[in-house]
Amino acid sequence: MNLEAIIFDLDGVIVDTAIFHYQAWKRLANELGFDLTIHQNEHLKGISRFESLEIVLEVGKINHLTKKEKEELATRKNEWYSENIHKMTPDDILPGVKVFLEKLKSAKYKIAIGSSSKNAGVILERIGYSNYFDAVIDGNKISFSKPDPEVFIKAAKELKADPRNCVVFEDAAAGIEAAHNAGMKAIGVGSPEVLCKADLIVPDFRNINISIFDKLI
Ligand code: B16
Ligand code: MG
């Protein structure tokens, strides 16, 4: 691999918005009369809002809602989630991320965001990264969410990079699969149990150097 570009998932990799998603889905589940565990929440990571809702409803064995009712629930969840992300500041960037991104930029690698979220623009603005990445592909620009490779293929295309020379950082099993489906290497950020299919796993971005990519070849 002749490394050209690095693509970062957003929720759970650059910032810890994964917890806000969980809190909002759990609140919705509780209002509907059931609970959503952390383990069940793992399946919601990296997939679209509507696909997530379908899984949540399945957990609660709720299967008689109309499309309109489902849309209302998804909107309600997003309003709670929005309240939290609008309070974010650059201090919410996860430890080690800023330094690592600066190292990549200094080494002239191209960097992109590849996220399933339709809220990615707001989050990037709140944390001061609106114009920082060479490309941002988010939930508004894709038709199929992870594990479909669309988001990463589009990011590589915008960066004018060969997918085989791209590395993805992901916190979700669906995202690792999406990177592999795109022909890219995937580094999991988080728990080895969830990310067992990743080419490499790191707990977070503290103490990470560019030399990490040597381990992928
Ligand atoms: P939204 P990522 C994903 O973002 C989240 O992991 C996933 O939990 C969420 O359902 C999805 O975005 C859609 O988010 O409701 O904001 O459009 O991890 O791909 O950056
Ligand atoms: Mg994520």
Rounded Cα gap, residues 134 and 132, in angstroms: 7
Task: Report CA(212)–ligand 1 centroid distance (Å).
Answer: 26
Write down the domain spans for the chain: 5-16+91-216, 18-85
- pLDDT value of position 80: 98
Question: Is ligand 1 within 6 A of the CB of residue 17?
Answer: no
Residues 6+ apart with CB under 8 A from 37: none
* pLDDT tens per residue across span 35-63: 999 999 999 998 999 999 999 999 999 99
- CATH architecture assigned to 5-16+91-216: 3-Layer(aba) Sandwich (3.40)
User: Ligand 2 mean position to 186 CA, how many Å?
Assistant: 13
Predicted pLDDT at 120: 97
pLDDT of residue 123: 98
Find all residues with CB under 8 Å of 43, minimum gap 6, and list them. Answer: 55
| 8 Å CB contact between 54 and 73 | no
Q: Is 77 in the pocket of ligand 1 (CB under 6 A)?
A: no
Is 11 a residue of the active site?
yes
Whose CA is closest to atom 5 on ligand 1? 46
Tokens 């709720």, located at residue: 62
- What is the predicted pLDDT for the residue at 213? 97
Catalytic residue status for 148:
no
The reported pLDDT for the residue numbered 38 is 95
Which residue out of 9, 138, 148, 171 is catalytically annotated? 9
Measured in Å, residue 175 CA sits from the centre of ligand 2 at: 7
pTM of structure: 0.94
For ligand 1, the distance from its centroid to the CA atom of residue 3, given in whole angstroms, is 27
pLDDT of residue 201: 97
- Strand ordering across the sheet containing 135-137: 135-137, 110-114, 5-8, 166-170, 185-189, 200-202
pLDDT in tens, 139-152: 999 999 899 999 99
- pLDDT at residue number 52: 97
Atom of ligand 1 nearest to the CA of 21: 8
Which ligand 1 atom lies nearest to the CA of residue 119? 16
Q: Does any ligand 1 atom lie closer than 6 A to the CB of residue 155?
A: no
**Neighbour-count burial of 137, counting CB atoms closer than 10 A to its CB (0-12 exposed, 13-18 middle, 19+ buried):** buried
Looking at the CA of 188, name the nearest ligand. Answer: 2
Select the CATH number that applies to the domain covering 18-85 from these four: 3.40.50.1970, 1.10.150.240, 3.40.50.1820, 3.40.50.300: 1.10.150.240
The segments of the chain whose pLDDT lies below 50 read none
